[in-house]
Amino acid sequence: MIAALTGAGLSAAAGLNAFIPLVLVGVFARFSTFIDLPANLMWLQDWPTIIIGLILLAAELVLDKIPGVDHVNDLIQTTVRPLVGGVIFSAVASAAEIDKGQFWSHNPLIGGIVGAIIAFLVHTGKSTSRPAINAATGGTGAPLASFAEDATAVGLSLTAIFAPILVTVFLVAIGGAVYYIVTTGRRRRRTREIRLTQERLEREAASARGEKVAWWRSWRERYERYGERNSDSHPHSGATPEVSSETNGS
């Protein structure tokens, strides 16, 4: 049970940022007795693995905080995060200092599959919520969201290693946060779409009457619609503006 919670916590952290738990597992396995890796995964604590992990972590910390670039990064990480999550789950769940039974050490493939699934689910939640955040904040929320995700990945990784029984609390909190962000973001987008449609109709009516329309209103509409298109292009966003059919009907 403890082994599974440790693996689940680190795999979930990998779904947010693959390289934070990877580096932490390598460091703790190399310099402490908290993690004693199985023989076939000892390479996780080798210096080349740790150094490469740190380099990739530095790149991830920068790229994930740039609106637009974070979307491309999430697409690339769709393969990386589940892969790292699977390796980490298999490594720590069968570690001698954690697993007092034999199931995970005798079934590393099952551990790898479980870890990959957990990391993929968390990654999907992250990549789904980010477009909603960007659309709701015009891109300004991307750095704050990324900082929060990085902090969560660090906290979840350390909790999984030192207090794995608390991992379930973290996982429930992550699920609740993702659900709130996605539903709130979609609601705001629908509200903004309705407002933009109303403003456009008012502007067209004013133009038909020969009245002048402030230039900044059309500029703002184009900017906000550009943000909507970028958000809708995300494969996991799934948002459906409800006013389009009403507009076409009018």
pLDDT in tens, 135-155: 777 778 889 989 999 999 999
- Residue 107's pLDDT is what? 82
- Residue 245's pLDDT is what? 44
Q: Which residues have C-beta within 8 Å of that of residue 117, sequence separation ≥ 6?
A: 82
* pLDDT bracket for residue 203 (50, 70, 90): confident
The model's pTM is 0.70
Comparing C-alpha atoms, which of 236, 230, 249, 238 is closest to residue 69?
Answer: 230
- Residue 247's pLDDT is what? 42
210-226 pLDDT tens trace:
766 555 555 555 555 55
What CA–CA distance (Å, rounded) separates 139 from 239? Answer: 17
